[in-house]
Amino acid sequence: MRRAFALFFLLICLAQTGCVHRRVTINSYPQGALVKVDGKDIGYTPASFDFTWYGTREVQLLMDGYQTKTEMINVNSPWYQKFPIEFFSDHFLGRHVTDHRQFNFRLQPKQADMSNDVMNRANSLRSDALHGP
């Protein structure tokens, strides 16, 4: 009888599978910036992607008229995703858990290109140095 109960309990435990859904959403102000995560195009803000592993990701936002923004974001694992608890939360929790993270970025307008002014000033200084004022 005890064996039957233990077998029944084991089958019930195995049937109670768990699942952790991991997702990150990237927002920007203004919206509509192209999002690249670790060099791969994700979409335009607000953009979301699923992930399997926690850790640091490189996020790059590109938008016409705005400076490109590149930042490293750290997606830390929650307590229930740390070893050895993660094995039980992933397989035997008996319910679906969602770990959804959001990161917000503010884009800065591009500054006027001053490279021509700098080159003109450099040429002027070179000419003054060679020929005198």
pTM for this prediction: 0.65
pLDDT digits (tens, 9 = 90+) for 36-46: 999 999 999 99
More confident residue, 18 or 47: 47
Q: Which CATH architecture has domain 17-121?
A: Sandwich (2.60)
Distance from C-alpha of 37 to C-alpha of 23, rounded to nearest angstrom: 13
Size of the chain, expressed as the number of residues it contains: 133
Q: Give the β-pairing of 19-29 and 47-50.
A: antiparallel
Work out the burial of residue 102: count CB atoms within 10 Å of its CB; fewer than 13 is exposed, 13-18 middle, 19 or more buried: exposed
pLDDT digits (tens, 9 = 90+) for 77-86: 877 667 776 6
Mean pLDDT of all residues belonging to the chain:
82
pLDDT digits (tens, 9 = 90+) for 10-36: 555 555 555 778 899 999 999 999 999
Over range 55-81, report the average pLDDT.
90
| 98 contacts: CB under 8 Å, gap ≥ 6 | 20, 21, 23
pLDDT digits (tens, 9 = 90+) for 99-111: 899 999 999 999 8
